[in-house]
Amino acid sequence: MDFYNGKELLKKCQEQQLPISEIMRLREITTGSMPPEKFEKKLEKALSIMKHSATKPLTNPSKSIGGLIGGEAKKVAEHGKTSNCVCGSMLSKAISYSMAVLEVNASMGLIVAAPTAGSSGVVPGVLLALADEHNIDDETLCKGLVNASAIGYLLMRNASVSGAEAGCQAEVGAASAMAASAIVEIMGGTPEMCLDAASFALSNLLGLVCDPIAGLVEAPCQSRNAIGVANAITSAELVLSGVTHHIPFDEIAHAMLRVGKSLPFELRETAMGGLAGTPTGCSLGCGICK
């Protein structure tokens, strides 16, 4: 049941008339020799951790280890309830949830790396906000997680999800692609539409650098997770509206890796360039080290 690229995944979906989530579930059960019951329990645990990390800081915020973030998610959540909210309910919730997960991660809490710690807010932020707005149950959310994992698996095999290797496009970009695909399946889209949504999400963040201030997964990581959820929701909306991407998913994945390898090393998680290399970024880093 294994597949090595998007083209092979779509072929299996077409041959068996199954969604991406079901093909991925069968892959995990067959190639990983994982009993269905164990697979379901792992999913339930992952979803439970996501829910906790996305909501705890909204009522009980705390400062990160580096002191650069803490409390921002609650501010966004509270503003989202006012008449001055410009994003709308779902996007505002997705942003606050995603930022909350980064606060939990940066204060040594438990999160699900989806696919990485630095991009861990995007998938839960999107799926939990979608559940709130459309009254989606946990069983359906778990299918979304499995769909997202298939996209992450493909990017790990054919591109990268590492900021040190290919910049933040490989972390938040990959997470955004995973979330976009999951939305599309949950909302009734086809496997082809799922990969198209992932393609839009990747291409929209192509070239995004990784420049963590002081080398910490705090800033600008937190706000980039917020951008990641907006990108995922937008990409899914495009595809569900009937818009298609000109470039196949597999080609975009390869392009993302090539672009990442072309980035100067200062822009690949070294904290030597970008925002980390600005005078203020450097002073913040020195302050933390002291």
pLDDT tens-place string over residues 176-232: 999 999 999 999 999 999 999 999 999 999 999 999 999 999 999 999 999 999 999
Question: Which tokens belong to 87?
Answer: 């994003």
Question: What token pair was written down for 151?
Answer: 């996209």
pTM to 2 decimals?
0.97
Fold of 6-289: 2-methylcitrate dehydratase PrpD (1.10.4100)
- Residue keyed to tokens 């979304």: 144
Contact partners, residue 9, CB within 8 Å, separation at least 6: 3, 20, 23, 150, 154, 191, 195
- Measured from the Cβ of residue 258, the count of other Cβ atoms closer than 10 Å reads 11
CA angle (118, 238, 144) in 5-degree steps: 50
Category of 242 on φ-ψ map: left (φ > 0), alpha (ψ -120 to 50) or beta = left
What whole-number distance in Å separates Cα of residue 158 and Cα of residue 248?
13
What long-range pairs does 81-89 form, CB within 8 A, spacing at least 24?
Answer: 89/132, 89/133
Per-residue pLDDT of the chain (290 residues; tens, 9 = 90+): 799 999 999 999 999 999 999 999 999 999 877 899 999 999 999 999 999 999 999 999 999 999 999 999 999 999 999 999 999 999 999 999 999 999 999 999 999 999 999 999 999 999 999 999 999 999 999 999 999 999 999 999 999 999 999 999 999 999 999 999 999 999 999 999 999 999 999 999 999 999 999 999 999 999 999 999 999 999 999 999 999 999 999 999 999 999 999 999 999 999 999 999 999 999 998 766 55
Asked whether 194 and 21 are in contact (CB, 8 A), the reply is no
